[in-house]
């Protein structure tokens, strides 16, 4: 099955470079190019891409507004947004995650990592780890944006104890394989718990599940999160070879 990709960036040369790279893969296809967030939303409604590769800083309607519009449209419920940014704009990253983005990559990303990231997000997983990304999450998602409120913890009432446990470990950056090893279950069992939690919480993907985990207080920066401690060590997001 071919993954349809929409490019949103104000730099035509960069879009052309991405198009050549993505179209060189038999399982990926660029279906449109947008120069700002408003055009990205319009083209997303026309082409229904699987993934929108979205820049944040664009003249006119920026990528944050474009992301919010795409993620709020019920007819685009299966479209994922992958943000391209730099670690110098951490607050933008947090806003994008709150808006519903499935993750982000730095603009200095390698070609292989970019392609792997698109495939990962298209599969419903999230690009939220390791190290530097977890720092962004704990720094920003634990504090509500101005004018917003944290999600009440009662929202988690329908989850089983194991679903909460797995959700907390996922929010801390654990991959399915790592969580499975820690809990002595299979990766398929972990994936099942993740998807059941997503369904019960009406989360569009794993990234939104992580946001809910922090905003309900299930996971707290530097606190006791009610889940077994994870072993230290570097790792990569599900679906990203490393």
pLDDT in tens, 21-57: 999 999 999 999 999 999 999 999 999 999 999 998 8
Closest C-alpha to 83, from 64, 100, 104: 104
pLDDT surpasses 90 at 237: no
Q: For 129-133, 138-142, 177-181, which range has the lowest pLDDT when averaged over its residues? A: 129-133
Architecture of domain 3-127: 3-Layer(aba) Sandwich (3.40)
Tokens of 223: 């606190």
What's the pLDDT tens digit per position in 180-217? 999 999 999 999 999 999 899 988 778 788 888 887 88
Q: Which percentage of the chain shows pLDDT scores above 90?
A: 44
The model scores a pTM over 0.95: no
Judge contact between 56 and 95, C-beta under 8 A: no
| Percent of the chain with pLDDT strictly greater than 70 | 76
The mean per-residue pLDDT over the stretch 89-115 comes to 80
- What is the per-residue pLDDT for 134? 54
Residue 114 has pLDDT above 80, yes or no: yes
Task: Tell me the domain boundaries of the chain.
Answer: 3-127, 152-237
CB count, 10 Å around CB of 15? 19
CATH architecture for the domain at 152-237: Orthogonal Bundle (1.10)
What is the rounded distance in angstroms from the CA atom of residue 197 to the CA atom of residue 194? 5
Which residues, in sequence order, are bridge partners of residue 103? Answer: 82, 127
230 pLDDT band (50/70/90 cuts)? very low
- Residue 96 tokens read as 């994008």
pLDDT value for 219: 79
As a whole number, the mean pLDDT across the chain is: 81
206 sits in which H/E element: helix 206-215
């Amino acid at each position: 099955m071919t993954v349809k990709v929409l490019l949103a960036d104000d730099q035509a040369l960069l879009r052309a470079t991405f198009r050549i790279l993505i179209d060189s893969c038999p399982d990926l296809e660029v279906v449109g190019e947008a120069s700002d967030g408003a055009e990205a939303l319009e083209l997303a409604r026309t082409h229904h891409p699987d993934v929108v590769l979205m820049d944040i800083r664009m003249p006119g309607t920026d990528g944050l507004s474009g992301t919010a519009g795409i993620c709020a449209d019920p007819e685009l419920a299966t479209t994922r947004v992958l943000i391209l940014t730099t670690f110098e704009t951490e607050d933008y990253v947090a806003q994008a995650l709150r808006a519903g983005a499935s993750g982000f990559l730095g603009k200095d990303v390698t070609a292989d990592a970019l392609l792997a990231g698109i495939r990962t997000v298209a599969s419903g997983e999230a690009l939220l780890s390791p190290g530097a990304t977890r720092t962004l999450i704990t720094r920003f998602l634990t504090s509500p944006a101005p004018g917003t409120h944290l999600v009440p913890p009662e929202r988690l009432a329908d989850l089983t104890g194991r679903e909460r446990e797995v959700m907390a470990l996922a929010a801390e950056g654990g991959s399915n394989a790592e969580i499975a090893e820690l809990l002595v279950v299979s990766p398929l069992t972990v994936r099942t718990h993740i998807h059941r939690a997503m369904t019960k919480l009406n989360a569009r993907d794993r990234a939104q599940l992580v946001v809910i985990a922090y905003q309900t207080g299930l996971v707290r920066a530097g606190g006791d999160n009610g889940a077994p401690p994870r072993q230290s060590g570097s790792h990569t997001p599900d679906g990203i070879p490393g």
